[in-house]
Chain A
Amino acid sequence: MADDWEKGGFGLYIHWPFCEAKCPYCDFNSHVVRQIDQHAWCKAYLAELRRAAAETPGRVLRSVFFGGGTPSLMDPETVAEIIAEIRRLWPVANDLEITLEANPGSVEATRFAAYRQGGVNRISMGIQALNDTDLRRLGRLHTASEAMAAFDIARATFERVSFDLIYARQGQSLAAWEAELQQALTLAVDHLSLYQLTIEQGTAFGDRYRAGKLRDLPDEDLGADLYTLTQEICDAAGMPAYEVSNHARDGAQSRHNLIYWRYGDYIGIGPGAHGRLTLDGQRWATETYSNPKKWLDNVPLRQAEKPRNPLSPQDQASEYLLMGLRLKEGVSLSRYENLAGSPLNRAGLDDLADLGMITRSGDIITVSNQGFMILNAVISRLLDS
């Protein structure tokens, strides 16, 4: 029997942990440093690629994703060398997707052509907002017009360009967001990520929020209304959500994200990167050290990765649900049952169907629009024994 991961495919994630400045809302593994020894980092990534390839020989790669941090701070040569090595180490799909996350500053934009040269074929830009006031509040270094300029260059350079916006910002009204989103849709090529601002512990916003100083954040009701409005507008523009926060024209979904959400196998390389790997029938959760220096120092010792944890059948089944239900396409009950060794709880399914949160058709359950807004509660009900 084929391994379960093959239903989701196989991908590679590469984490670049540096940024020019730390954004006040961000809790990703990103650091600001004075100098980066690009050469040392390049060597380390190459070593890690070889280590990973030795475990997964012959698997066909469907996607490579340079995420961050700000991968557009990587030297284009580094990116090119990594891609070249990847192509040596694994067989790749004909339509291999290679995405790089870029910040829309003017300096970054000058490198786009070189990235393309090196093999990158998709760009995901962190534009975040289309007006300067909100960009400043979000602590971003770029202005709206710089972002537009960078975006134009990206569009001219790559066929596939996506960008991210953060909404449900402080003081944002429904009308203001509607106008901004309409403008974004006129720019959008084929993919758009729209994230509601999340206040994370341990960030500058998190501290300010706790001190009661982050005012005018949308409450639960406005948050829900903003989300609903977003779905309506994007549906009408032919960019429906295929995941909670991700929108695409038909066929333009991020292949990389789909690997995660369809619970495929993926290698995670670079500081703090996570992976899921099936080896000899056992699925493992992998994670590397997130401190950049520690990671870099550990690579030559072949200890950049923390000790691995095997995933129990129930863990895998839970993860499949947690990831898969984020997708419009839903999850398969039989696949869940195969992973868990027992069927999904019947009472939960019935309850949620009665409440209109999920729909069942044959083997597939999908979450309704209403259900998406309270997905955490839906999943926790389903996994409640």
Chain B
Amino acid sequence: MTPLSHIRNFSIVAHIDHGKSTLADRLIQSTNTVADRDMKEQMLDSMDIERERGITIKAQTVRINYTAANGEDYVLNLIDTPGHVDFAYEVSRSMRAVEGSLLVVDSTQGVEAQTLANVYHAIDADHEIVPVLNKIDLPASDCDRVAEQIEDVIGIDASGAIRVSAKTGEGIIETLESIVQNLPAPKGERDAPLKAMLVDSWYDSYLGVIVLVRIMDGVLKKGERIRMLSNNSTHHVDRIGVFRPAMTVIDELGPGEIGFLTASIKQVRDTRVGDTITHEKKGTEDALPGFKPSQPVVFCGLFPVDSAEFEELRDSIEKLALNDASFSYEMETSAALGFGFRCGFLGLLHLEVIRDRIEREYDIELITTAPSVIYHIHMKDGTMMELHNPADMPDLTLVDHLEEPRIKATILVPDDYLGDVLKLCQDRRGIQLDLTYAGSRAMVVYDLPLNEVVFDFYDRLKSVTKGYASFDYAMIGYRQDQLVKMSILVNDEPVDALSTMVHRDRAEQRGRAMVEKLKDLIPRHMFKIPIQAAIGGKVIARETLSAMRKDVTAKCYGGDATRKRKLLDKQKAGKKKMRQFGKVDIPQEAFISALKMDG
């Protein structure tokens, strides 16, 4: 067991792509934590999807042994946190388990929206912060300017910022030394009753639930019985270990240390992030300040393209939910799409990740319906109901008013693009809260309805600013507004999976955009098809998809009847990717694409 004075626990905060994962790789590599031949890029991003997209979803951790310049051996525990706004809750809870942070800023870019959001989590958690200016190998690197910006915008001293290239390895030793010298050692009492923080947990098909813990006081040993303070459930600890980053079993964890335990726990849902773990007997009753559990904010329906795959879908969703307590689901039936699930997510990225995993790991093709936020419906009888699905909108005569969730969005953007960003925010019913400048960058703060953001706001933002804007948001509560349900009728039949909630003033514009989009997305049929948007019984937009005019194989391939049969099979396969509404086939991607707005 390592003495407290020789432990340093830290995280790395950064805007996406500023080099957090690369820096972590370098730290691991230069301390020989992993043999060079086992070194993969982005060691800590373990899921396929994370690697592909270069994002970290779950908090990951690694223990590094480091012999410092003073000749002493230190244990450095790094917790790598997710960078994307959808997973902000993961960041804040991981921060409570460590004492300091490396603030990594790309010295060719400067401070970005997620730099700010994440560094505030670190400041909230009372961290000592070591600024690191990364990518100094690049010609565009401008450390002085960025250091100044850090001081201006964040208000911390950046005079001692370490200049690093995570690519070439320059500055890595300085970084390790600074961790040892500038970050505080953890505090804790070895002889006090066990008090450990449940930092994160996930499901492993061999070991069951793996619980990541930070020991605050006391010692945890293999074979002991533990108790969760939140519900007094008890468990037998059958394994204790640390990540290097591969799982390595050890005998005990002492104060200040970070590691994992397994205790034959079956479901991630049985572990509460932020919970306090103690011994069954002679434990503490003094719980750590708990974290609020994360709440899904975006909902959508997931339906199997092939309705025969419903049971497989149920199975895959249940399995994924075992490992992701932030994802919720309930069965849903749609007149049009049959049986599926209404699922709740932390944000759009989270939605996409789950959807990708179902399609990829379980090989089920999905129809994803329009994402929706949770509306509060205040009924005339004084009760309030949550609306997760526009299709469930109650009879309007019973409704008094509706409220929608709002967010505070922080956007950093070079001033060249400021006008476009302001226009985008205005178009999305935003209310400007603040506009300040730091150098040639503007920081714009807007109050926006979440429903205008969940869908394609981030894509639009990236496109109008050519990728130069950065964005972060936080929920700020519910507010009343003039919201209505817009239905879409295809060939005079309502398609429930295309219903959306819209603001009354935007309904016509939105309706027109949707029917135009659908006209392009639905293939021509043998007959013409009216496509309408309606509020209640009133049609507000209408397009007509004209009938198919030509679809015939001109050439005769002699006697090659097989070729014709193959063509027919291909058509049939294409049809399988569509859903029938009355006599009309709608392609699965239409349900999402119809909502994308170009302006």
Contact = CB atoms under 8 A, between A and B. Distances in A.
A322 B556 contact: no
Given A13-B559, A275-B559, A376-B571, A315 B552 contact: no
B249 interface: no
B556 A227 contact: no
B564 A319 contact: yes
Contacts of B561: 260, 263, 274, 276, 285, 319, 322-323
A245 B559 contact: no
A351 B550 CA distance: 18
A72 B560 CA distance: 22
Nearest to B572: A380
A268 interface: yes
Contact of B559 (A221, A274, A326, A357): A274
A374 B556 contact: no
Contacts of A357: 526
B551 A383 contact: no
Given A245-B554, A323-B564, A374 B559 contact: no
Contact of A377 (B526, B554, B559, B565): B526
Contact of A322 (B527, B568, B572): B568
Size category, B interface: 20 to 34
A373 B549 contact: yes
B559 A223 contact: no
B552 A287 contact: no
Contact of B550 (A197, A318, A374, A379): A374
Interface residues of A, number: 50
Contacts of A315: 565
A257 B550 contact: no
A224 to B, nearest CB: 4
Contacts of B558: 13, 65, 67, 260, 268, 273-274
B548 interface: yes
Interface string A255-273: 0010010010010100001
A98 B260 CA distance: 83
Contact of A260 (B524, B556, B572): B556
Contact of A223 (B527, B549, B565): B549
Mostly, the B contact residues are loop
Contacts of A355: 526-527
B383 interface: no
A268 B552 contact: no
B554 A374 contact: no
Contacts of A65: 558
Interface in B509-555: 524-527, 548-555
Given A322-B565, A322-B568, A380-B568, A375 B559 contact: no
A77 B155 CA distance: 95
Nearest to B567: A376
Given A67-B558, A245-B556, A380-B572, A224 B550 contact: yes
A322 B527 CA distance: 22
Contacts of A380: 568, 571-572, 575
Contacts of A326: 556
Interface string A270-312: 0001111000000001010000000000000000000000000
Please name the 3 residue pairs, one residue from A and one from B, whose CB atoms are nearest each other, closest first.
A224-B549, A196-B554, A375-B552
22 contacts: A195-B554, A195-B555, A197-B554, A220-B524, A223-B549, A223-B550, A227-B550, A245-B555, A273-B558, A273-B559, A274-B559, A276-B559, A285-B561, A323-B561, A326-B556, A355-B527, A373-B549, A377-B551, A380-B572, A380-B575, A383-B568, A384-B575
